[in-house]
């Protein structure tokens, strides 16, 4: 689906809006719920402010933000998956701020500018954003939390495969629940749309996995200009495929390969050399790069 791009400057990230977000606002306005539409947009921006502040505290630069009806998807520099320990805090900041927003709304609900219905809708909007984003599916905040946990336990590829399986399961469950309720006469189209969106997003992420290594290494070039950077050494045999060696890389580390043949040291290879060979598409072995 086409995205609507609003602005992009040197100091601020590019901001775009998903068509589903636009449709939600148009629907609320068309049925006379202009106040509710403003509250929904405000609750979403409030939710995202939690991620922005957390990212700023950890010196994470936002490159692009896409607004969705239930949150936003952000591209960061460095990529959050390169720093899974930080990713947990940045991901959880959104639901936490939404819960704080619900509590703040309850505290000021007696103010003159708050009607009873509008205040109740604001509380519901904050709670829905918090609870939906805690679902363990990509690209929700719960999926980010799950990704961070997996990346701290295993290599990137296995972590992504587990995350995607879980995302497909959550999306499929939401669709099944929506269809079951529809059969009984209860219409919950937002639940159906969310489930379908999670499935489609997981499918797109799965298709992009083969290109991830090259893209991630390109994004990390700015990080490697720093004076110090953690290194991961891995010892392999000369017959090891380049792609296999790259899969063993851990997030947050620059990969260096030591090639050893029957106890004899043959040489070293850098991550950049491995990525360049992998981009050619051939099943190259590390011995061919020495």
Which band of pLDDT confidence, cut at 50, 70 and 90, is reported for residue 23?
A: confident
Nearest in space to 18 (alpha carbons), one of 62, 69, 57, 54: 69
Query: pLDDT tens for residues 227-268?
Result: 566 777 888 888 888 777 777 776 667 778 888 888 788 888
What is the rounded average pLDDT of the residues 188-215? Answer: 80
pLDDT at 10 exceeding the cut of 50:
no
Residue 127 confidence (pLDDT) above 50: yes
Phi (first) and psi of residue 60, to 5 degrees: -100, 120
Residue 147 has pLDDT above 70, yes or no: yes
Range 10-25 average pLDDT:
72
pLDDT of 72 reads 74
Cα 144 to Cα 129, 133, 178, 240: the distances in Å are: 15, 10, 24, 32
For the residues 101-113, what does the mean pLDDT come to?
76
Measure the CA dihedral 6/130/119/116, to 10°: 140
Percentage helix, strand, coil for the chain under 3-state DSSP, each rounded to 5: 60, 15, 25
Average pLDDT, rounded, for the chain: 79
User: How far is it, in rounded angstroms, from Cα 163 to Cα 214?
Assistant: 20
- Segment 74-79 mean pLDDT: 72
Percentage of the chain surpassing pLDDT 90? 17
185: left (phi over 0), alpha (psi -120 to 50) or beta: left
Q: Cα dihedral angle (275, 276, 282, 285), rounded to 10 degrees?
A: -70
CA 189 distance to own-chain centroid: 24
In this prediction, residue 112 carries a pLDDT of 60
pLDDT at 1 over 50: no
| Triad 188, 194, 197: Cα angle to 5° | 140
- At 214 the three-state DSSP class reads helix
Q: Choose between 176 and 116: higher pLDDT.
A: 176
Write down the pLDDT at residue 177.
92
Choice among 23-32, 146-155, 159-168 with the minimum mean pLDDT: 23-32
Dist CA 99 CA 127 (whole Å): 6
Q: Per-residue pLDDT for 287 more than 50?
A: yes
Query: Is 186:156 a contact under the CB 8 Å cutoff?
Result: no
Please indicate, yes or no, whether the overall pTM of this predicted structure exceeds 0.85.
Answer: no
Show the tokens assigned to 73.
């998807």
Cα 166 from Cα 171, distance rounded (Å): 9
Which of these ranges, 54-58, 219-223, 224-228, 264-268, has the smallest mean pLDDT? 219-223
Mean pLDDT, range 97-124, rounded to an integer: 79
């Amino acid at each position: 689906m086409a995205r609507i791009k609003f602005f992009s400057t040197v100091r601020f990230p590019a901001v775009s809006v998903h068509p589903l977000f636009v449709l939600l606002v148009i629907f609320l306005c068309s049925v006379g719920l202009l106040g509710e539409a403003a509250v929904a947009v405000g609750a979403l921006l409030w939710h995202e402010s939690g991620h922005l502040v957390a990212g700023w505290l950890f010196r994470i630069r936002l490159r692009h933000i896409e607004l969705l009806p239930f949150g936003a998807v952000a591209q960061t520099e460095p990529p959050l998956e390169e720093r899974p320990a930080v990713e947990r805090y940045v991901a959880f900041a959104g639901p936490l701020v939404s819960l704080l927003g619900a509590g703040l709304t309850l505290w000021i609900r007696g103010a003159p500018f708050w009607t009873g219905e509008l205040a109740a809708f604001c509380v519901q909007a904050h709670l829905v954003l918090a609870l939906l984003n805690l679902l363990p599916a990509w690209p929700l905040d719960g999926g980010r939390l799950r990704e961070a946990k997996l990346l701290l336990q295993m290599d990137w590829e296995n972590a992504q495969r587990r995350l995607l399986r879980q995302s497909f399961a959550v999306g499929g469950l939401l669709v099944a629940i929506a269809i079951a309720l529809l059969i009984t006469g209860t219409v919950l189209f937002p639940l159906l749309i969310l489930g379908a969106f999670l499935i489609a997003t997981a499918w797109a992420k799965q298709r992009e996995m083969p290109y991830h290594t090259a893209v991630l290494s390109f994004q990390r070039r700015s990080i490697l200009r720093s004076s110090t950077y953690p290194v991961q050494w891995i010892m392999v045999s000369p017959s090891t495929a380049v792609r296999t060696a790259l899969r063993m890389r851990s997030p947050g580390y620059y990969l260096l390969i030591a090639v050893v043949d029957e106890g004899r040291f043959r040489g070293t290879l850098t991550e950049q050399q491995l990525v360049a060979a992998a981009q050619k598409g051939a099943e190259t072995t590390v011995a061919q790069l020495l």
